[in-house]
Structures are given as structure tokens and as C-alpha cells.
Amino acid sequence: MTEKRHLRFNRNIRKFLVVSALAIAGAAGAADVTPDAVVRETTQDVLAAIASNPEPAALRQIAQSKVVPHFDFRRMTQLAAGRIWTQATPEQQEQLVVEFQRLLVRSYTQSLGAANHGAAKVAVQASPPASSDETTVRTTVTEPGRRPLAVDYRMARNESGWKVVDVMVENISLVTNYRDWFSSRAKDGGVEGVIRALSEKNRHSA
């Protein structure tokens, strides 16, 4: 990824990722609801909840209760870590998941407070019935005065329902973006170096 694309990804992910990510919450575990229907039916309720109580404590609660249960952070960490995951011990894998989840949730919470979600609109494209346990939900996020932004969700179905395993902002993958970050930290410090870097990043963001 070029530096320009990397910066654009970071800028977009902080402002728009949570708008659509939270739209998946609420009914994501329902077995009889398609992933795109879940997004469409819950978007306005979630955005209204954010608009009614934008205090930091409330935003943290929204992130924990409405985002965390509907993302497969272990799968996301495994995909982002790539070969590093196979080199890690079970204990190191758990540390990677904990720190990576903490990093993403903190980013979500910060984004919730940074954007005017009350004016945001999320259009969800109808998708054909999933023929397997994986699918992609495609959305377009718009805010007044800004160009539409494509935010797509790669989702996988497990025993507890559909879970998000990757997010694409303008066709730039969250997992791929962090895979480059993981790889660069592992060159010098291996698995422990990645864990330390994640932990330090979380401390500095606290």
C-alpha cells in the first residue's frame, strides 16, 4: 500500500467506519435475517441512539454493547497477523486478540465522538441469498457536504450468527492495512514485538 493510500484509509476509517459498523448491531445474530437486511433495518435506530447521547461514557457503552458482540475479533486478528499467527503460541495468540480488539474498539469509540452521525445516511445494497457461510454487505455512507463513501463488510456465519471479519473502505481492506503494520513490527521483534507495539499503541491512545 502506498503512503497516500495508507493515509487516506486511516482518515476514512476513523470518521466513517463506525457509522455502518454499528448498523450491523442489534439483530446480527438472528438466523432468519439476511446480513444486508440486518444493516438496513437497524441503521436509523443506532444512529438515533448516538445522536441522543454523545457523551464519552455513553459512546464507550455503545461500542461495547453494539459493536463487540458482532465482530469476530479472533478471526480478524488471525487474518491481519497472517504468518505471524502461525508462529505464535496459544498464549501469544490470545494476547494478540486482546490487544488488537482493544485497538479497534478504541478507534470506533473515538470515531463515534468525531463525526456528525445524526446527519449521516447509510444506503445498503440488496444482496443475493448467501450460498455459503461468507458474504459481503455493501453500503454507501453519505454526509452533507461530503462525497459518498463506499464501506463494505465481509461477514462470516458461525454458530452464533453473522459476524464481521473485515471492513473495506473505498476498496481498501482493514485487515490488509493492518497486515502490513503487523509485518513491519514483526521484522525486528517477532511475535513479542507485535504484542509490545499493540500494547504501546493502546497505552498512548488511552
Which pLDDT score, from 0 to 100, does residue 19 have?
A: 46
Q: Are 21 and 168 in contact (CB under 8 A)?
A: no
Put simply, whether the predicted model's pTM sits higher than 0.85 gets the answer no
Domains and CATH numbers, the chain: 3-205 (3.10.450.710)
Helix (H, G, I), strand (E, B) or coil at 111: helix
- Tell me: the pLDDT tens digits for 76-92? 999 999 999 999 999 99
> What is the average pLDDT score of the chain?
77
> Each residue of 46-59: pLDDT tens digit?
666 677 777 777 77
Q: Is the pLDDT of residue 108 over 80?
A: no
3-state SS of 62-118 is HHHHHHHHHECHHHHHHHHHCHHHHHCCHHHHHHHHHHHHHHHHHHHHHHHHHCCHH
